[in-house]
Amino acid sequence: MADDFLTRLPKVELHLHIEGTLEPELMFALAERNGVKLPYSDIEAARAAYDFTDLQSFLDLYFQGMSVLLTARDFHDLAIDYFRRAAAEGVVHVEMHIDPQAHLARGVSFATIMEGLLAACREARDELDLSTAMILAFLRDQPAEDALQVLEQAGPWLEHFSAVGLDSAEQGNPPSKFREVFHRAAELGLARVAHAGEEGPPTYIREALDELDVCRIDHGVRAIEDVELLERLADESIVLTVCPLSNVRLKVVEHLEQHSLPRLIDAGLNITLNSDDPAYFGGGMRENFAACQRAFDWSDETLSWLASNAIEAAFMDEQRRDLLR
Ligand code: ADE
Ligand code: ZN
């Protein structure tokens, strides 16, 4: 990895799905280890299949890919493989969404998921000087009652979660559907974040703020369609965790040059850059920063400001934050 400005810049990742870090190489290795059959003839065929038309076309392959994750060792290998890559490109803190429902539905226990991920997080801290936080994500295309059940099941591991989140198919699954479970999460002392305004309308961003009391909006790029909402997001300093390469690969925008990012920044929003599902979208944190630098001709000062926004918005203790500032 080059020793350049973007690599050295301490990058904090606030929007990452750990299951979206599964590179085809590891997917094939785990499939072999576990006797799972994949729908791809080889690694190249898997990569070639990552040609998405929208969020759902990606989600289909994302859920398919994670079928190789069965044991605690698999979850450990998934996470540590990613943490090593991230640390090598200058990432210093990772907040990962986890989709327990996607694993529980395949007969993988909560204990299995957590045993593997927590072991990898300890190694990241001790060996890579990489801090981590976990976000318990609910699949929004599943019933709200299932989300409540998952929150219940998370009980023994709740201390390891900083927040709850909301992901998967957005259209037709408004934040208000999850009012009750987010309220319960708040009672349990968890912070709240939600995907909103990725494919869904700006009203979903309002709902996430008003009904789920979120402190961060994941994506939020469709806020650009609503001037009043932009003013509110700026006034309340709501953090947007924007994922540029993801937005291009999922056809939220056709070309990065057309992305609303510069306009969102001009509107005074608290913007951060993130990688979402780097194994599927063609790049990690460094490449997301680099692609924006190329597309928008951003100065080092702008890129440093984006990185420092994420440090301030992270779920980390103040000692660690001070160290990274
Ligand atoms: N799950 C994984 N990646 C996602 C994304 N970009 N949007 C919604 N749900 C997701
Ligand atoms: Zn996401």
> Cβ(20) to ligand 1 under 6 A?
yes
> Cβ(274) to ligand 1 under 6 A?
no
Give residue-wise pLDDT tens across range 264-300: 999 999 999 999 999 999 999 999 999 999 999 999 9
Give residue-wise pLDDT tens across range 146-194: 999 999 999 999 999 999 999 999 999 999 999 999 999 999 999 999 9
Q: Which ligand is nearest to the CA of 277?
A: 1
The answer, yes or no, to whether residue 92 has pLDDT greater than 80, is yes
The full set of domains in the chain, from first to last, is 5-314 (3.20.20.140)
The answer, yes or no, to whether residue 3 has pLDDT greater than 90, is no
126 annotated as a binding-site residue? no
Catalytic residue ranges: 198
Whole-number Å distance, alpha carbon 239 to ligand 2 midpoint, is 14
Question: Residue 89 in contact with residue 1, Cβ under 8 Å?
Answer: yes
Q: Which atom of ligand 1 is nearest to the CA of 198?
A: 7
* Count of beta carbons in the 10 Å neighbourhood of residue 210: 12
Q: What is the pLDDT of residue 255?
A: 98
255 annotated as a binding-site residue? no
The distance from CA 258 to its chain's CA centroid, rounded to whole angstroms, is 22
> Cβ(167) to ligand 1 under 6 A?
yes
Mutate to test the pocket of ligand 1, among 59, 249, 288 (most ligand atoms within 8 A of CB): 59
Torsion 170-176-179-180 (CA) sign: negative
Whole-number Å distance, alpha carbon 40 to ligand 2 midpoint, is 24
Whole-number Å distance, alpha carbon 96 to ligand 2 midpoint, is 10
Q: What is the pLDDT of residue 1?
A: 57
Amino acid at 25: E
> Cβ(247) to ligand 1 under 6 A?
no
The rounded distance, in Å, linking the Cα atoms of 146 and 152 is 10
**ipTM score of complex:** 0.98
> Cβ(241) to ligand 1 under 6 A?
no
> Structure tokens of 268?
């005074």
Q: What is the pLDDT of residue 2?
A: 63
How is 134-149 classified by DSSP, letter by letter? EEEEEETTS-HHHHHH
Q: Looking at ligand 1, which residue's alpha carbon is closest to its atom 4?
A: 168
Angle between helices 144-153 and 179-187 (to 10 degrees): 20
Give residue-wise pLDDT tens across range 94-133: 999 999 999 999 999 999 999 999 999 999 999 999 999 9
Q: 210: part of which helix (H) or strand (E)?
A: helix 202-212
Phi/psi at 189 (nearest 5 deg)?
90, 15
> Structure tokens of 314?
């992270």
How is 241-304 classified by DSSP, letter by letter? EE-HHHHHHTTSSSSGGG-SHHHHHHTT-EEEE--BSHHHHT--HHHHHHHHHHHH---HHHHH
Whole-number Å distance, alpha carbon 16 to ligand 2 midpoint, is 6
Q: Which atom of ligand 1 is nearest to the CA of 17?
A: 2
